[in-house]
Each structure stands twice: as C-alpha cells, then as structure tokens.
Amino acid sequence: MPTTTLHAAPFDGRLFRRVLGLFPTGVTVVTTWDEAGRPVGATVSSFNSVSLDPPLVLFSLAKNMACCESFAAGGPIAIHILGDGQEDLSNRFARGGADKWADLTYGAAEHGAPLLEGALATFECRPYAQYPGGDHTIFVAEVARLRFRDGEPLVFCAGGYRRLAEREVCA
C-alpha cells in the first residue's frame, strides 16, 4: 500500500484537513439560544470527554461561525450525539442559515438549552470554560444531566458517513 509523507514545510492546510479526516469521529449537534431567545446550533465532530469529576466535556467551533458568539455568551448548552440514520439532521446543522430549525420539533431541556428529539444521547450542560484555539474557540461544559437510548452512533470519516463494523470474535 503506498504511503504519503507530510513534510513540515511548506505546510498545506488542505492536506492537513484531509489527513485529519481519516480519524473516524462521532457526530454531535450542539445547541443553545441567541441573545434574542432563538435556538441556534451546529454540527460538531470535535467533541471529547475531559473529566469524570466534575463531569466535563469539550467541543470547538470556528470563530467565524454565526453561532459561536451565542455559545460564548454563556447560556445553557445541549450536546446531542446523533445516531445511525440521522444524516439529515447532521447535514441540516452543518449548513449556514437560520432555516436549520424550520419544521423541526424541539423542546427545552431541564437546564434550559434547546433539546432536539431522537438523538442517541444528549448531555445537558452548563458552560465551564472557554479557550482560544487558533481559528476556533474551545468550549468546556459541565454535564448536569444526560439522556440516552439504545442504538448505533452516526460516524463520519474521510468525508462521508460510515457504519461501524461488527467485530468477529476469534475462537
């Protein structure tokens, strides 16, 4: 199998992004409210656990995203882990524009954030910290409540949605 070597200079941002895309990730949609009380959200694959005590998670948003300021304002946050078959919801929140919420059923979480129906898992969170990270802002959130259901996660890798393969047990 041929290999490609990434050299330190000159740095190619497109190649860097392509190689990062080889790392499979789950898909989340993060939600909060804007200053006018309208729901905002974005599809995010940069989601990770940080701590068990206190229960902390993180995600990052590009600073130029329209909703980044709403998350930076410090209101309640919901992080929805999408399940297999929720590609349309992922694609809806990956695009720009205010029509993301059109014809979409949602409620308010106990801790106040917009809550999407049907996610594989949902973390209801309070803002904990924010950090600059180059062209992104890293948001750390404290989990106040979680919900989950049985099912398979939505997985993204190499520019497309994937399914988890069943692992064979060796006898």
Q: What is the pLDDT of residues 76-101, one digit of tens each?
A: 999 999 999 999 999 999 988 768 99
Domain count, the chain: 1
44 assigned to some structural domain = yes
For the chain, the residue count is 171
The per-residue pLDDT string of the chain (171 residues; one tens digit each, 9 = 90 and over) reads 566 665 555 678 888 888 888 899 999 999 999 999 999 999 999 999 999 999 999 999 999 999 999 999 999 999 999 999 999 999 999 988 768 998 998 988 788 999 999 999 999 999 999 999 999 999 999 999 999 999 999 999 999 999 888 776 666
Inter-residue contact 39 to 115 (CB < 8 Å): no
The rounded distance, in Å, linking the Cα atoms of 54 and 52 is 5
171 assigned to some structural domain = no
pTM: 0.89
Residue 18: the pLDDT is 86
Range 134-137, long-range pairs (CB < 8 A, 24+ positions): 135/62, 135/63, 135/64, 136/46, 136/60, 136/61, 136/62, 136/63, 137/60, 137/61, 137/63, 137/68, 137/71, 137/72
Residue 7: the pLDDT is 56
8 assigned to some structural domain = no
Q: Which domain holds residue 69?
A: 25-152
Find the CATH number of the domain harbouring 135.
2.30.110.10
52 assigned to some structural domain = yes
102 assigned to some structural domain = yes
